[in-house]
Structure 1
Amino acid sequence: MSNESFTENSRKIALEYLIRVSSGEIDSALELVDENAKVWFPDKGDMNREELRDILKYAKSCFVDRISLVPYGITAEDERVAVEVKGDAALKSGAVYDNRYHFLFIVKNGLIVDLREYLDTIPAQKAFWS
């Protein structure tokens, strides 16, 4: 596989993960994440795939319907994919969640092996943990 094909495949896997999360398909999204993947999340630090599942399912339970995750910037090279994302959702509390994210994905052998999610923690704290 050429570097260009490898990069495009990594890009597709990263974007498919975001599409599945945005659609509320948490288990399906995690099928794209290696069982031994390293995951990093603000205020939580290093986690494994099952801990990520718990956080995503908890967040999903707070939404009226689902979160809209819209990529607006993508940079990909070989196995590394960086994606800037705008996210918003109506919350069951009546509030509106609005945030910006930066995801870094490392993809190997067709699976995400390293996932880092960066976001503004203040809107997240207000929406999910207050």
Structure 2
Amino acid sequence: MPIATTFFDRLGSGDVSGALDLTTPDFTWTVAGKPGQFALAGVYDRDSYVEMLGRVGGFLSAGPRVDVTSVTADSEHEVIEAHVTAVSASGAQYDNALVYVFDLEGDKIKAVREYLDTIHASEVFVA
């Protein structure tokens, strides 16, 4: 099983610590978009990534549903296409197609870059 899908499985079950066990100490997660225009845009280290997940939890009280639709992998990268749906705390429907590029270092995740429709996301993830 690709490490990226294991990472998402652990996050989906609420096991953030277990997901982070799959990462390197200098792990980063980058969310596409311009800070100031999209509330979640930016580069996160391990600690700030956990904080960002908490912010997402505040926007999406039931959490997001991540359905992986394809995986492409080689020894250094895994690319995940996913369909993510949720309902915001205010009742807004979130329905977005995302691409995640995982950079691997050995059997660990070193970095992830998340690409999404930031206009739609900013309609749901208001600061």
Equivalent residue for 1:12, pick from 2, 9, 14: 2
Matches within 5 A, 1:85-104: 85-104=82-101
**4+ residue runs of structure 1 moved beyond 6 angstroms?**
none
Give the gaps of 5 or more residues in structure 2. 34-40
Matches within 5 A, 1:1-130: 12-43=2-33, 44-129=41-126
Could you report, residue by residue, the CA deviation over 1:26-62 in whole angstroms, capped at 9, with x for unpaired residues?
3332222222023321233333122221111210222
1:15 to partner: Cα distance: 0.5
Three-state SS of the structure 2 residue aligned to 1:71 is: strand
1:70 to partner: Cα distance: 0.6
Structure with bigger helix share is 1
After superposition, the CA RMSD in angstroms is 1.7
Count of residues paired in the alignment:
120
Is the 8 Å Cα contact of residues 37 and 112 (structure 1) preserved in structure 2? yes
Paired with 1:88 and 1:60, the residues of 2 have a C-alpha distance of: 13
Using structure 2 for the length normalisation, give the TM-score: 0.83
Paired with 1:76 and 1:22, the residues of 2 have a C-alpha distance of: 21
Is the 8 Å Cα contact of residues 20 and 29 (structure 1) preserved in structure 2? yes
Give the gaps of 5 or more residues in structure 1. 1-10
Three-state SS of the structure 2 residue aligned to 1:87 is: strand
